[in-house]
């Protein structure tokens, strides 16, 4: 058997302790699989005294991640700190410059600096592995980079954030308001005290940027993603979607078009009968469309100690076997410049919810604005609030607002947004219109 592979692990939170548990439980079997033992010889975390479910007393402790990364005693540096800059970036760079392979779960770091770090890794002839950065235990990075390398991929999309999927699932199944479910998610540990990163779509966007680069061979382009979160989704939207035969999901979508690549993160209505509509709770899924492989759907645990530790361990085992693939599937210098699809040219059907003042001419004005933009309507549904009466003023307004749902035929995003802007300016609605894309999948 070859000499041991010695690890330095920076970050002993949920994933770091999960990895230590996995290595302790499966160590002998893994050694037999790769022909060498795997040993943790150094660790680094914010606090030495914090209670942990695994023993670390026998492992060398480092107060600075960068020092651990460059230490001659380790062969592989495992970065589980998080964050797009700061200690995580400094430590990963230190390891690569020292000629050490790196395993990371840090999607934010890679979404911002992925191409530069890949270049540095290739210059040093070492691996930069990040299976755990996207979708937890789902092996989507290896699937895109290796298993589907023979395909021309057309689209990759999915549910990439368990927090948002949990919230939307609970709103659907328990008929509860967004704020109530978010508070519950925070109590259960599914959402952070500050949930902005998750519910505003940035976590999904970081992951989508990496999938896009792997799928289409382009430089990582996080700053080219159109991002919308789920803050504005109401119970009225969830119920309307159900009535229309849809479920609401937060999707990350990357699509190759004639004019370039679409990258977008947004709530979407997906058909109830689709496989992705059945992905509930904190589960993630990634769908891939290729010319030879057809349509694939990978689903599973997108976060958590065991699922993410599983992904980190798979990268460590690849390094133990001597595998050093280009991080993004092709050499960093051969990654193509990102070409963004023309703004507003995305085509599809849309759900629109308006709160329309109940007064003469309001609906005619709205229909006129929609028609001016060439948007054709498939249906209009008006639901009067309980107890409301036509013509009775609400707090001095000419007529109480009434919920109106519009479903469009296929149109461009530019056209529907232009129509909604004009409708808002006309003063016939009491609040900003809600627009959700309908994804036929």
- The DSSP secondary-structure symbol of 201 reads S
Ramachandran assignment for 175, one of left (phi > 0), alpha (psi -120 to 50 degrees), beta (any other): left
Tokens of 116: 């530069």
Please state the separation of Cα 20 from the chain's center in Å: 26
DSSP letters for 388-399: --TT--STTSSS
Tokens of 417: 């947004």
- Cβ-contact 292, 150 below 8 angstroms: yes
Spell out the residues 6+ positions from residue 195 whose beta carbon is closer than 8 angstroms to its own: 163, 182, 185, 186
Angle between helices 86-97 and 107-124 (to 10 degrees): 10
Catalytic, 142? Answer no
Catalytic residue among 100, 107, 112, 207: 207
Residue 212: name the closest of 109, 311, 328 by CA. 328
- Cβ-contact 128, 117 below 8 angstroms: yes
Q: What angle do CA 236, 237, 242 make, to 5 degrees?
A: 100
- Cβ-contact 346, 254 below 8 angstroms: no
Kindly provide the residue ranges of all beta strands, DSSP E only, lying in 29-187, ordered along the sequence. 38-44, 60-62, 76-79, 102-104, 128-129, 153-159
Q: Quick one: which H or E segment has residue 436?
A: strand 434-438
DSSP letters for 312-370: HHHHHHHHHHT----TTSS-GGGPBPP-BPPTT--EEEEEEEEEEE-STTHHHHHHHHH
- Cβ-contact 114, 213 below 8 angstroms: yes
Tokens of 317: 């085992």
Sign for the pseudo-dihedral over CA of 67, 70, 72, 73: positive
- Cβ-contact 78, 101 below 8 angstroms: no
Annotated catalytic sites, by residue? 207
């Amino acid at each position: 058997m070859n000499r041991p592979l010695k690890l330095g692990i920076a970050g002993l939170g949920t994933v770091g302790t999960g990895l230590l548990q996995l290595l302790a439980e499966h160590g002998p079997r893994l050694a037999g699989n790769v022909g060498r033992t795997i040993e943790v010889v150094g660790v680094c975390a914010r606090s030495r005294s914090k209670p942990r479910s695994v023993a670390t007393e026998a492992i060398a402790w480092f107060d600075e991640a960068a020092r651990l990364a460059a230490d001659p005693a380790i062969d592989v540096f495992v970065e589980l700190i998080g964050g797009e800059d700061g200690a995580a970036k400094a430590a990963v760079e230190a390891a690569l410059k020292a000629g050490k392979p790196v395993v990371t779960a840090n999607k934010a770091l890679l979404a911002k600096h992925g191409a530069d770090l890949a270049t540095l890794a290739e210059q040093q002839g070492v691996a930069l592995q990040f299976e755990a950065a996207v979708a937890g235990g789902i092996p989507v990075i290896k699937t895109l980079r290796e298993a589907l390398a023979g395909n021309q991929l057309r689209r990759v999309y999915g549910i990439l954030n368990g927090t948002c999927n949990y919230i939307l699932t609970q709103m659907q199944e328990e008929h509860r308001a967004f704020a109530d479910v978010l508070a519950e998610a925070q109590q259960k540990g599914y959402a952070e005290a500050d949930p902005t990163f998750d519910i505003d779509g940035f976590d999904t966007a970081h992951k989508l940027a990496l999938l896009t680069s792997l799928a289409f061979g382009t430089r990582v382009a996080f700053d080219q993603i159109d991002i919308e979160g789920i803050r504005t989704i109401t119970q009225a939207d969830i119920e309307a979607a159900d009535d229309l035969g849809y479920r609401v999901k937060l999707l990350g979508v990357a699509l190759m078009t004639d004019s370039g690549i679409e990258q977008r993160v947004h709530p979407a209505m997906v058909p109830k009968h689709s496989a992705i509509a059945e992905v509930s709770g904190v589960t993630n899924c990634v769908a891939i469309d290729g010319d030879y492989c057809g349509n694939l759907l990978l689903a599973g645990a997108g976060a958590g100690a065991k699922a993410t530790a599983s992904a980190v361990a798979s990268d460590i085992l690849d390094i133990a076997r001597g595998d050093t693939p280009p991080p993004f599937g092709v050499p960093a210098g051969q990654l193509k410049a990102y070409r963004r699809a023309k703004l507003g040219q995305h085509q599809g059907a849309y759900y629109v919810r308006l709160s329309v003042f109940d007064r003469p001419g309001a609906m005619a004005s709205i229909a006129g604005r929609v028609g001016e933009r060439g948007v054709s309507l498939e249906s209009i549904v008006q639901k009067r609030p309980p107890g409301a009466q036509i013509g009775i003023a609400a707090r001095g307004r000419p007529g109480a607002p009434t919920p109106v749902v519009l479903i469009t035929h296929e149109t461009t995003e530019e056209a529907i947004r232009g129509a909604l802007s004009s409708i808002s300016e006309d003063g016939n609605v009491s609040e900003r219109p809600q627009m959700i894309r309908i994804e036929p999948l």
